[in-house]
Structure 1
Amino acid sequence: MTKVRMGMVGGGPDAFIGQVHRMAAGLDGNIELVCGVFSRDQQKNRQAGESLLADPARAYADIASLFAAEQKLPAEQRMEFVSIVTPNSSHHAIASAAIDAGFHVFCEKPATFTLAESVDLQRQLQTSPVLFGLAHTYTGYPLVKEARQRVANGELGEIKKVVVEYSQGWLAKKLNNQTSKQGSWRLDPTYAGVSCCVGDIGVHAANLAEYIIDSPIKQILADLGSVEADRSLDDDATVLLRFANQARGVLIASQISLGEENNLNIKVYGSQGSLSWSQQEPNSLWLMSGDQPAQLLRTGFDYLCDQAKQCTRTPAGHPEGYIEAFANLYQAFANGVKQHRNNPVKDSRVEGVPDIEHAVSGMQFIEGTVTSSQANNSWLKLDKLTPAEHTK
């Protein structure tokens, strides 16, 4: 079948994550970038169009022009889905406009600026035939899928405890916001929302824990803070977790852990065994029990589950990493779009891709940690949190 045609909003010349999305989307040769609004700076927008598109005229000035012009094109030429890689504050407006225009949506996390906006998108999707995907990249790693399958098979027994950590060090020192584009908007509540650290990386850790043990976080007790006195958003967080399956957990998220690079790791402890995985060593998964030597599983071998093998591109010993994991989400989303061409259904979910339910739960977690921390580090039931409860 023909390639799936993608548009992009954001991801201009100075944007890190836009290039990552483009590399991931293009890795398997099934997606073609055909249009976009890459920057509010029209000179940069034109430059991006000239360097990225076969037809530079399809670098539009704004999202209204993007959706209106693409709708007018023949079905075999127009964009089929839009990838949203802008700061958090604009996600909802872009996604909502895309849904109204009938285009599928693949969005950076968090899905929206507020929980209320995520709930609004959820309602909008209930009556729309379009697909929605969320870029929780780490669920795309082969051995993360293997870990999930081992838990589902009951090999660890009853899950008792989860310890998940996502530590970085890039905010350990005060940033010059004039030279740090990444830091300037992530630390600005006007663009980032109510949280920097939890909204940027803590929500990834929460999603990873929920994905592997296949159980949602139901209660939290959070302690958020910032090391710089003039920062209005958190750069460090510790959160106690209680899952629906009665397991307890600890989540550590930090962007001021000096010396750390991108240290996302998770340990899951059960009544019969445990497992351990680290994003910085993603091709290894450790299984442990109380009375046997630890077992090391590696990417690329036939003993892995079907989902892990399907997400592996190279033979054992040829490391795969972040771009490949990201590409697994894009590949699954593209497959969903292809299926949708001939059999459109009113279900926004795509198998193998985080969906609008994860978007809502992610925003509940982000806003819940802020609410809990501000309420003298008190326990909070996430399913009882409503958009109106959070004020900051």
Structure 2
Amino acid sequence: MRRLRMGMIGGGPGAFIGPVHRFAAELDREIELVAGVFSSDPDRSRSAAAQYLIDPARAYGSLDEMFAAEKAREDGIDFVSVVTPNHNHLPSARAALAAGLPVMTDKPLTATLAEAQELAGLVASAGLPFGVTFTYTGYPLVREMRERIAAGAIGTLRKVVVEYPQGWLSQPAEGKQAEWRVDPAQAGAGGCIGDIGVHAFNLAEFVTGQKVKCLLADLAAVVPNRALDDDCAVLLRFANGARGVLLASQIEVGELNGLRIRCYGDKGGMNWKQEEPNSFLQHQADGRTEVVRAGDASLGPLAASFTRTPGGHPEGYLEAFANIYRDFAAKLRGEDAPCLLGIAEGLRGMAFIDTAVRASNAEAGWVDLNV
């Protein structure tokens, strides 16, 4: 079985997420980064190629150049990964699909809901595999929680509390990674809600198997003169009647990457923290609490199949990211990938961002979430 060849769009010098995609894609030796448009500046693109240890002749200055050159090669790329700021997601994915290439894109799907709807149409027309890297769905124990909840482990879902606190934007933005995230021209309509709030939203739907029906949002730009929100509180109502609370903030000083989800039903509850990802708590209605650990014999076959090390040997962010690329590789080979999230989930994420921003700006009360 040959390795799948990946082309990257974005991820040039100074990028955070580009190297993460590369490490994750290559971890299981199923995928190899071989080419890319790492920057619109050809010199910077070649500099990135040196960093990624790939042939500098396959570091291109434009999408058209890469697609034409790679199509002419016997060992050309099999798919592209889009790791740019949000405003480049749609044009990059559009060009790749037009070139007949499957696409993996970073979240959020696009900069706006209208762009996401356009992209959904393009994906449907192209009929090609399409994935979105909602990173935290790759953790084996998150997948275990999803399986247990679907099997009735906590009974009927009543309440979901999902939090994503960070503190790195508590001061005026400085540096490449911060500046584009607070710029509406690059990030889109949502700031914190689009950067990390959408992760929390996606995790809540992924783990519980329930869709958010409507929401009540309070979004604020706390740092003076900031154009986009940096602090968010959203009440959720799920399709089955369950209530939810989503908190996302990038101005909570001292917080790092504290994503956490708690799910409660009429028979029990579950509690998982991203900063301590190798265990979760499962509570029973009679007062008992089970600590479920990565590598446990109690894990189901799905979670076990995505666990690489024995219990007590921690796995984390890069391994979770790699699991998503493993899913995508399976999809490209025509195999089953039940946890791979694609255009539908990406579109729901954009609908969530759009609805939260509109609801907060209009002080409109409860607003239906319509894709």
Question: TM-score surpassing 0.5?
Answer: yes
**Structure-to-structure mapping, 1:247-258, within 5 angstroms:** 247-258=242-253
- Which of residues 330, 334, 346 is equivalent to 1:359? 346
Give the corresponding residue for 1:57: 57
Matched, 1:165 2:163: yes
Q: Give the superposition deviation at 1:45.
A: 0.9
Matched, 1:124 2:122: yes
Structure 1 counterpart of 2:238, which letter?
F
| In structure 2, C-alpha distance between the alignment counterparts of 1:51 and 1:255, rounded to whole Å | 30
**Structure-to-structure mapping, 1:103-142, within 5 angstroms:** 103-142=101-140
Determine what percentage of the aligned residue pairs are the same residue.
50
- Which of residues 231, 237, 261 is equivalent to 2:256? 261
CA contact (8 A) 2:42 2:60 kept: no
The one-character-per-residue Cα deviations of 1:142-192 (angstroms, maximum 9, x if unpaired) are 1101111111111111100000000000011223x3xx1111000000000
The one-character-per-residue Cα deviations of 1:196-244 (angstroms, maximum 9, x if unpaired) are 1010000000000000110111101000001122001000000000111
| In structure 1, C-alpha distance between the alignment counterparts of 2:33 and 2:248, rounded to whole Å | 34
| In structure 1, C-alpha distance between the alignment counterparts of 2:51 and 2:273, rounded to whole Å | 36
Matched, 1:219 2:214: yes
| In structure 1, C-alpha distance between the alignment counterparts of 2:127 and 2:72, rounded to whole Å | 19
Change (3 A) 1:54 1:254: closer
CA contact (8 A) 2:190 2:229 kept: yes
Q: Give the superposition deviation at 1:339.
A: 2.5
Give the corresponding residue for 1:27: 27
The one-character-per-residue Cα deviations of 1:241-292 (angstroms, maximum 9, x if unpaired) are 0111211100000000111110000100100100000001101110112323
Structure 2 counterpart of 1:70, which letter?
E
| In structure 1, C-alpha distance between the alignment counterparts of 2:73 and 2:329, rounded to whole Å | 20
**Structure-to-structure mapping, 1:1-392, within 5 angstroms:** 1-74=1-74, 77-175=75-173, 177=174, 180-339=175-334, 350-383=337-370
CA contact (8 A) 2:94 2:119 kept: yes
Q: Give the superposition deviation at 1:377.
A: 4.7
Tell me the secondary structure at the aligned position of residue 282 of structure 1: strand
Structure 2 counterpart of 1:60, which letter?
Y
Tell me the secondary structure at the aligned position of residue 308 of structure 2: coil
Q: Give the superposition deviation at 1:53.
A: 4.5
| In structure 1, C-alpha distance between the alignment counterparts of 2:353 and 2:3, rounded to whole Å | 36
Residue range with higher mean Cα deviation, 127-136 or 254-263: 127-136
Change (3 A) 1:67 1:53: farther
The one-character-per-residue Cα deviations of 1:348-392 (angstroms, maximum 9, x if unpaired) are x95321110011100000011000001115111012x6xxxxxxx
Q: TM-score, normalised by structure 2?
A: 0.98
Structure 2 counterpart of 1:277, which letter?
W
Deviating beyond 4 angstroms after TM superposition, the runs of 4 or more aligned structure 1 residues are none
Tell me the secondary structure at the aligned position of residue 304 of structure 1: coil
Structure 2 counterpart of 1:34, which letter?
V
| In structure 1, C-alpha distance between the alignment counterparts of 2:351 and 2:99, rounded to whole Å | 27
Q: Give the superposition deviation at 1:50.
A: 2.9
| In structure 2, C-alpha distance between the alignment counterparts of 1:35 and 1:350, rounded to whole Å | 25
CA contact (8 A) 2:141 2:294 kept: yes
Q: Give the superposition deviation at 1:95.
A: 0.2
Structure 1 counterpart of 2:261, which letter?
I
CA contact (8 A) 1:102 1:129 kept: no
| In structure 2, C-alpha distance between the alignment counterparts of 1:53 and 1:104, rounded to whole Å | 23
Structure 1 counterpart of 2:324, which letter?
L
CA contact (8 A) 1:210 1:217 kept: yes
| In structure 2, C-alpha distance between the alignment counterparts of 1:55 and 1:42, rounded to whole Å | 14
Tell me the secondary structure at the aligned position of residue 39 of structure 2: coil
CA contact (8 A) 2:105 2:132 kept: yes
Tell me the secondary structure at the aligned position of residue 65 of structure 1: helix
Q: Give the superposition deviation at 1:127.
A: 2.2
Q: Give the superposition deviation at 1:123.
A: 1.1
Tell me the secondary structure at the aligned position of residue 166 of structure 1: strand
Q: How many residue pairs are counted as aligned between the two chains?
A: 371
Unaligned runs of 5+ in 1: 341-348, 386-392
Q: Give the superposition deviation at 1:124.
A: 1.4
CA contact (8 A) 2:42 2:59 kept: no
Q: Give the superposition deviation at 1:293.
A: 2.1
Structure 2 counterpart of 1:169, which letter?
G
Q: Give the superposition deviation at 1:302.
A: 2.0
| In structure 2, C-alpha distance between the alignment counterparts of 1:351 and 1:6, rounded to whole Å | 22
Structure 2 counterpart of 1:206, which letter?
F
Q: Give the superposition deviation at 1:51.
A: 3.4
CA contact (8 A) 1:4 1:338 kept: no
Tell me the secondary structure at the aligned position of residue 69 of structure 2: helix
| In structure 2, C-alpha distance between the alignment counterparts of 1:213 and 1:172, rounded to whole Å | 31
Q: Give the superposition deviation at 1:120.
A: 1.1
